[in-house]
Structures are given as structure tokens and as C-alpha cells.
Amino acid sequence: MNLFHFLSQNYDQVVELTLEHLWLVGISTLLAVLIGVPLGILSARHPLWNRPVLGSANLIQTVPSLALFGFLLPVPWLGERADRIAILALTLYALLPVIRNTYTGIRGVDPAVVEAGRGMGLTDRQLLMQVELPLALNVIFSGIRVAVVVSVGLATIAAAIGAGGLGEFIFRGLAMVNNQLILAGAIPAALLALGADFGLGWLEKSLRPR
Amino acid sequence: MKEQRNERHRDASAARRLPGVALIFVLLITSSCAHSRADRIVIGSKNFTESLMLAELMAQQIEAHTHLKVERRFYLAGTYICQQAILAGRIDLYPEYTGTALTAILKQKIGSDRADVYRRVKDEYEKRFSLTLGPPLGFNDTFAMEIRGEDARRLNLKTLSQAVPFATHWHAGFGYEFMERPDGYPGLAAAYDLHFAGKPRVMDLGLLAPALKNHEIDIAAGNATDGLIPALDFFVLEDDRRYFPPYEAVAVMRDEIVRQHPDVAEAVAELGDKISDREMQQLNYALDGQHRDPKEVAHDFLQRKGLVH
Amino acid sequence: MHGQRLQIGYAGRTFENVENTSSNTPVIEFRDVAYVLPNGRELLGGLNLRVRRGETVVLLGRSGSGKTTSLKLINRLLSPSAGQVFVNSVDNGATDVIQLRRGIGYVIQEAGLFPHYSIEKNIGLVPKLKGWREDRIKQRVQEMLQLVGLESDIASRFPHQLSGGQRQRVGVARALAADPEILLMDEPFGALDALTRDQLQREFRALQQRLNKTVVFVTHDLREALRLGSRIALMEAGKLRLVVTPEEFMKSSDPLASAYVQAFVGDESISVGSIKDASIKDRGVQ
């Protein structure tokens, strides 16, 4: 049975695992944005925070993903369910690109614009919401794009601890020495990553300020 | 002075797309939770032959006696993965062992009484995980001390205690884990006051059977349901002192499934006490030794037992 | 209540009673203002200066003279290390900074227009902050465009579509949109080519005569100072050296002032004299 035949036979499973994969990526990216963007803004505005914030995010990146999953296993509440571990780990890994790009984006806003804005009487919050964030948006977005693409790959490994997703096909296929199963997981995962990269890249371009 | 809240002051075209994108994102996420599996049962298995065999038997039972479709998710990497999958609702049932459930998942100390272990697992699973345990399938896949069939017949040995005086002349062969685990060889030697000729040889699990066959060793520690036991005419000495803990195979099912589809629970329960140690050995051999198709093997078995037609 | 204050640089003239609400009441006043950087470097020291209503005071000086620092102390973009800055007799450090800034027009060299806002939104920024009605803002934007000599259809365009000169005009329009009393301008025409600069200076002068705002204008160009200022405040190394009218400046005996004049006059003769004369002057002038 060739791959295409296999995929159409097991269509339900492929769809289910793909959706599980998207869920893992989506939730963790969302959390990374909710946590990372404010942290990026904080470190852009108060340079003293820059080192600890970026430093911590960098530190997390150096931990191998499988090891991070393993560390989190004995943690109460978290360790009881594999998808909680996976989402936490994915969120942590997505933080660095989001924080770093938010920082760069906001610092990259033309200082003359910021000065003019401040001089005209915009409050700090208005300056952030009306000027800095809109102008930094496409840089922030490219950070989100990196986070998503990285997450898609990382979520594949999360299947090793039972979190589901397309990686499950891969691991099962490895155990059974079944190439079709392996490809049934690997190819959709790769397509997902490519699609996300492409789609978000297009979106990023359209958000670019004139 | 009253401050006006400024809403849409972004560059019009770009910002207008953002809510649309966010919406798609949200839809994607929510849709992934919303998949309905009203007419499907998903069965998982661990990544070794026996687990696969049991899961296939259960799958065919369900297919034969209910109108539901069965989706097979076999070869999940291990106990933890299966447990996570059933807790998350990604699979609906899978075959587990009482001893494994008690020690690896419930993290409790094990006893030697089969019924007691079963009851404890059943109660805890219900309380903690809302999982239902089916009846034991009939065999005990625990550790087995194997000797050659010819020796067993010649010396008229049935139990381990009977073998103890002869053991001093025997060479033993064990896998690494059995050698090292406190509830493996060390505990066994203590329980039976067992001594061998020289130190037991540690070897790869796959090499134990040929070594025993070829008289390189005289006694080996394997699994009670090894397919090679009947095939190579090995004999399992009975653990009369009840040293080894029980590992009875059971179906673990989600409560929700049992509630929604009582016919599924019934179909699976029909397998209760239907598989003896010997029969399990033969099923394993059919897959590992004869490389037959699991589906065929399962179907034959169910037919022979009169469970399907 | 502060009695008589001696104003350095006003050639001995003094003012009575600061609280007097005559046209002599200073709109802006620096009292012993100093600004020191965290590393100890003093950008501004002991500044005392008053700006009266309707005046255009030009802060003239080289880079590092403290002129931009002084300007930013007025709208509190910087806070003084010592002394006080009064705007309309109120210490601007004790008041709501945001409201203060919304009442002061601010024009900088790079214009600083918001690139993601249309010209209309840029100009209408402060009125919107102040809560004006949409239609009133729209109308005001058109008025401002007319005031600075721009076509009304520019309102829907974006800054990147405009030339440098047009952007600066928009900058001025934006600063004037909410009709502030005070206008602060930091070398607004410095980045433009000579022709455009010349034109904008002339237009601004005409504008100032019409609107009669109180303006503090920073520049390093004496020509611009002479053209636009009702008084010139010469600054050097963080200190105010003199505050005089343009005519007085040209005749001043202060060495720095006369150096500026020399440099300026040297330029002038090249432009008006013959080419032969100019070449002689070129070699002769220091």
C-alpha cells in the first residue's frame, strides 16, 4: 500500500493528529505572545531588565527539548498530563524569539517619531499603543513566525512523552519499523511548518509599515 | 480634561486583516477540540507483540459484537504514553497488566495475591482516573523460571521449591534487568534459598532461549507467556512460594465509553478468563516465531473459542 | 512677591513684580536652571531667561551649547537638575506634564511625523487627544494645511509620499493644530536644502506676524536667527552669554557674537560682491 493510499485509508487519524498538533502549537504560541510581548516591551523601555529577561529566555533555549520534557515530568499537576508538559515546554521555547523581536521592534522605532509623540503630549501608554506597537508590529510578527515554525517541529517530539500530535505517527512507525507510518507523520508535520512559515511570512509583509 | 480613547488609528488596510487572522487562528484551535468520535472506538497498545495481540483481540470482539468502527493505534511507546493517551481521551481502551498498573502508574508496593492486586488497581483506577478495569483475561504474564522440558520430565519437577536441590548443579542465565532489580534475582534467591553453580550469566534477552536450548545454561528467567516456551519445549517452574508479583492482563477503558457504549464493555468482558498461559504463549509464537498476520491469528483464536463466527 | 529680579543680559534693565498680568508677564521663565548629566557633565548652568508673550526668542549657539537642552526643559522632556522653569507663572515640574505638552507646539528637525498615520491624522493628533469632535478636527486640518501653504488633498496622503519640505510644513501644521500659545522649534529647517529652507523661513516669518505666538526657536545659523528672532539668546558651553535684539547683536562687542557676525558678513559679501572681489575676500577673510 503506498503512502497516498495509506493516508486516505487512515484519513480520520491523520486529521485528528494534525488538529492535536495545531492545538499544541496554537496554545503555546498564544501564551508565548501574551507573556513575551509585555516582557519585550518592559525590557525595551527599561534597559536594566534587558539582561535578565533576554538572558533567561536564552538559557531556556539551551536546554535540549527532550530533557526539558523529562524535567517537567515529576512536577505536580503539570507532570500528570503530557499535554500540559508539552504546552509549557513549547511556550518556554517560543518565548525567546517573541521577546527578542518585540525588544528589537520597539527599539527600532524612529526615535524622532517617539520624541515628537512625547513632546506633543502622548502618555506613555498612548505612545506604546498608538505609535510604538503599530510601528514595531511587523518585526514582532516575524518573531511570532519563528516561534510557530519552531513549535511545529518541537511538537513532533512532544509525542515521545505522550502529548500526541503528528509525532505519534513517527514514533509508532519507528517502533513497528513501518516507513509509511513514519512518513504519515513526518510529511504533514513538514508541510505544516512550511505552510506556517509561508502564510505568516505573507502576513508579516502585509503588516509592514510604509 | 477628558481623554478620548483612540480605537482604529492603525494603518487601515494592514490592521483590518489582523482580526481576520486572529479569528482563523482561534477557529483552528477550537476546532481541534471539537472533533466528534461518536461512532468510533480507539484502541491503543504498547509496543510489543503480546500487547498488540491482546488489543487486536479486543478490537475484533468489538467489531463483531457492536456496530461501532474501531480505530487501531498500536505500538504506542510504553506504559506512560498509553496512560497519557487514555487520560487525554485520545484512546478509549488499551490492554494493561495489573502488576504494572500498581507499580508504574499508581506507584504503590506490590503484593503477591492476584485478587488483591486486581482489586486495588480496579478501585484506584476508578477513583483517580475514572477508568474502568475489565476482568482478567486468564493468564499471568509474570517472570518465569524456565528449564528444558526434558530435564523437567526426567527429574519430575513441577515447582521451584522442588528444583532448589538440583539448582546447585545448574548454570543460570538472566537478562540484565532481572539480575539487578531487587525484586528480581536477589529477592528470588532469598525467597527460595536458591543457589546456582557459579554466578548467573548475564546476557541479552534474545540470547537466553538459544543458550538454554544448547545446554549453555540450564535455567533462565523469561516471561511466562514467551512464545518460545512451547516451541522449544521449555518448562516453566511453578512459583509455589508466590514470590513473583502478578501481572494479569486486563482491559482499561474510559468510564465514558462504558457508559455510552455498554455493548463495548460487554464485548471486551467476554474475553475474561479465556486465555490461559499456554494459549498466550502460542499466540505470541504465531506472531514472533511464525510471523503470521495478527488479524488472522486473532480471528482464528476468537473463532476457536466460539466468540465470533 | 519675588520682588525685583536682575536679568543678566538685558543690559541692566529690570522687571518688577513677576505676577503682573501685563503683556510684560513672561510666558516662559528660566530661574537658575541647570542640567547635569548622570555622569557629571554639565549641559546647562545657571540659566536665567524670560520669554514674553508674542516674542520669538532664538536660542543661537554651536552644538553642545545647551540650546536644545534648554528647549526641552520648557516642555519637560527634560527635568532641570537645579532651578525651576515656569510656564505661564506655573512651575512646570509641579503641573501635569501631559497637559503641559498638549498646550505647547513642538517641531523638530526630522519632523517626526507618524509614518503609519495619514497627514490628516498626523495634524489632527493633539486635537484628537483633547477630545475635539471629528468634524471640527477635519476642518481644522484643512485650515492648517492652508496656513502652511499645502494643497488640501495632501490630507489623505502619507508622510513617505511627501518631500522633505512638505513634511516640515506638516510638522508646523501639526504643532499649531490645537492652537497652542507656545511653539518650540528645534532647528526645524536644518535638514532641508538651502532654497527650501529660505522659503520656509520667509513663510514662517509671515505666519508668525499673523499668529503672534510665543516662539522659542533653536538654531546654529545666524542668518536664520536674524531673520526670525525678535530677540537672539546667544549660548555657549551651557551658559547664556547675551540676549539682545538682532540689531544689537550685529553691533555687539561680545567676542563670540562678533565672531558669528564676522562669519556671517564674510558669507554675505561673497554672495553680493563680484566674483573677483569674492576671490580676494576669500583669501583675506580669516
B6 to A130: CB separation less than 8 angstroms, yes or no: yes
Closest approach of B6 to chain A, Cα-based (Å): 8
Closest approach of B5 to chain C, Cα-based (Å): 8
Q: Using a CB–CB cutoff of 8 Å, tell me whether A16 touches chain C.
A: no
**CA C56 from centre of chain:** 7
- Given pLDDT bands bounded at 50, 70 and 90, which one contains residue B21? low
What's the pTM? 0.79
A131 to C108: CB separation less than 8 angstroms, yes or no: no
Question: What ipTM was assigned to the predicted interfaces of this complex?
Answer: 0.83
Instruction: Encode pLDDT of B99-123 as tens digits.
Output: 999 988 888 888 889 999 999 999 9
Contacts of A108 in chain C (CB under 8 A): none
Q: Using a CB–CB cutoff of 8 Å, tell me whether A123 touches chain C.
A: yes
Residues A151-188 as b or e (16 or more Cβ within 10 Å = b) = bbbbbbbbbbbbbbbbbbbbbbbbbeeeebbbbbbbeb
pLDDT, mean of each 10-residue run, chain C (286 residues): 38 38 78 94 93 95 93 95 94 94 95 95 95 95 94 94 94 95 95 93 93 94 94 95 94 91 74 43 40
- Given pLDDT bands bounded at 50, 70 and 90, which one contains residue B22? low
Nearest to B4 among C99, C116, C128 (CB): C128
d(CA A80, CA B105) in angstroms, rounded, equals: 11
Neighbours, chain B (3 or more CB pairs < 8 A): A, C
Contacts of B3 in chain C (CB under 8 A): 129, 131
A207 to B14: CB separation less than 8 angstroms, yes or no: yes
Could you identify the residue written with the cell 503528528? Answer: A166
pLDDT at residue number B110 = 82
Contacts of A110 in chain C (CB under 8 A): 110, 112, 115
pLDDT of B269 strictly over 80: yes
pLDDT at residue number A175 = 86
Nearest to C121 among B1, B2, B9 (CB): B9
pLDDT of B3 strictly over 60: no
C106 to A116: CB separation less than 8 angstroms, yes or no: yes
A176 to B74: CB separation less than 8 angstroms, yes or no: yes
| Residues 6+ away with beta carbon under 8 Å from B49 | B227, B284, B287, B288
Nearest CA in chain A to B35: A16
**DSSP, res C158:** -
Instruction: Encode pLDDT of B148-202 as tens digits.
Output: 999 999 999 999 999 999 999 999 999 888 888 777 898 899 999 999 998 999 9
pLDDT (mean) for B242-271: 94
pLDDT (mean) for A125-141: 94
d(CA B168, CA B163) in angstroms, rounded, equals: 9
> Which of A115-119, B220-224, C35-39, C278-282 bottoms out in mean pLDDT, i.e. has the lowest?
C278-282
pLDDT (mean) for B263-278: 94
**DSSP, res B69:** E
| Residues 6+ away with beta carbon under 8 Å from B278 | B230
* Mutant choice from A198, A207, A210 vs B, greatest count of B C-beta within 10 A: A207
pLDDT at residue number A102 = 96
pLDDT at residue number B221 = 92
Asked if C39 and C45 touch (Cβ cutoff 8 Å), the reply is no
C99 to A134: CB separation less than 8 angstroms, yes or no: no
Closest approach of C169 to chain A, Cα-based (Å): 15
pLDDT at residue number A209 = 63
pLDDT of B33 strictly over 60: no
pLDDT at residue number C134 = 94
Contacts of C131 in chain B (CB under 8 A): 1-4
Nearest CA in chain C to A110: C112
C101 to A120: CB separation less than 8 angstroms, yes or no: yes
Contacts of B71 in chain A (CB under 8 A): 12-13
Nearest to A134 among B10, B88, B90 (CB): B10
Contacts of B2 in chain C (CB under 8 A): 131
- Mean per-residue pLDDT of chain A: 91
Q: Using a CB–CB cutoff of 8 Å, tell me whether B3 touches chain C.
A: yes
d(CA B14, CA C136) in angstroms, rounded, equals: 27
Q: Give the three cell numbers for residue B4.
A: 478620548
Nearest CA in chain C to A114: C112
Distances A45 to A58, A123, A128, A134 between C-alpha atoms, Å: 20, 14, 10, 16
Contacts of B87 in chain A (CB under 8 A): 80-81
**Is residue A112 packed enough to be buried (19+ CB in 10 Å), middle (13-18) or exposed (0-12)?**
middle
Asked if B66 and B93 touch (Cβ cutoff 8 Å), the reply is no
Instruction: Tell which wins on pLDDT, A79 or A42.
Output: A42
pLDDT at residue number C13 = 36
pLDDT of B78 strictly over 70: yes
pLDDT of A21 strictly over 80: yes
Q: Using a CB–CB cutoff of 8 Å, tell me whether A119 touches chain C.
A: yes
Residue among C241, C235, C212, C261 at smallest CA distance from C56: C212
B28 to A176: CB separation less than 8 angstroms, yes or no: no
